[in-house]
């Protein structure tokens, strides 16, 4: 099962949240990508950070077409179901908090963006039809209605969580050999 493969890549002691587990089942039954070009994949942030301590703060569960990673950010070693979802850009940039938690990320997926970098989620969705089946499933499974754009999801996440790009820059300054 996809959820088990993702679980195997999560940092030790971090459990796949129930909503994410159900999304994996949806992807297995309906196809992956589930929305736009977003795919659920088992991966780690090890290569992205190049060291274990920083990488262990991220539980990767998806990717974009450009190689970006979508992950739970465990900056306070919080429960994964309450951790924000972040985009880690493929080139080390375009890092941003996307949603306050997995449930809010499901709303974001339901909108239908092809990618989750800032050039995409700061406007109208470019592939809303790609998420039509997902939107129907979100209503049936969770009673979730996706908003028209990402703005309310992004704004709420920015108010609740620190800036992941700033956290990464601080880590780079402290990183040995930097």
Domains in the chain, number: 1
Average pLDDT rounded to a whole number, residues 32-55: 92
CB atoms within 10 A of CB 85: 28
Element (H, E) at 40: strand 39-40
Q: Is residue 43 part of a domain?
A: yes
CA distance 66 to 37: 9
- Which residues on neighbouring strands pair with residue 119, listed in sequence order? none
Q: Is residue 164 part of a domain?
A: yes
Could you report the per-residue pLDDT of 51-64, keeping only the tens digit for each?
888 999 999 999 99
Q: Is residue 138 part of a domain?
A: yes
Residues contacting residue 93 through CB under 8 Å, at least 6 positions apart: none
Could you report the per-residue pLDDT of 75-125, keeping only the tens digit for each?
987 789 999 999 999 887 789 999 999 999 999 999 999 999 887 888 899
Q: Is residue 79 part of a domain?
A: yes
82: domain range? 2-173
Q: Is residue 7 part of a domain?
A: yes
Q: Is residue 178 part of a domain?
A: no
Could you report the per-residue pLDDT of 134-158, keeping only the tens digit for each?
999 999 999 999 999 999 999 999 9
Report the predicted TM-score, pTM, of the whole model to 2 decimal places.
Answer: 0.94
Q: Is residue 143 part of a domain?
A: yes
């Amino acid at each position: 099962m996809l959820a088990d493969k993702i679980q195997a890549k999560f940092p030790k002691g971090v459990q796949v949240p129930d909503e994410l587990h159900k999304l994996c089942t949806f992807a297995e039954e309906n196809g992956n990508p589930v929305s736009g070009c977003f795919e659920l994949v088992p991966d780690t942030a090890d290569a992205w950070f190049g060291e274990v301590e920083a990488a262990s703060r991220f539980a990767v569960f998806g990717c974009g077409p450009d190689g970006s990673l979508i992950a739970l950010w465990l900056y306070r070693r919080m429960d994964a179901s309450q951790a924000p979802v972040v985009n880690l850009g493929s080139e080390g940039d375009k890092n941003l908090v996307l949603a306050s938690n997995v449930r809010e990320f499901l709303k974001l997926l339901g909108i239908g963006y092809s990618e989750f970098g800032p050039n995409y989620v700061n406007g109208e969705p470019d592939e809303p039809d790609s998420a039509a089946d997902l939107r129907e499933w979100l209503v049936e499974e969770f009673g979730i209605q996706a908003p028209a754009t990402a703005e309310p999801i992004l704004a709420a996440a920015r108010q609740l969580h620190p800036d992941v790009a700033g956290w990464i820059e601080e880590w780079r300054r402290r990183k040995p050999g930097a």
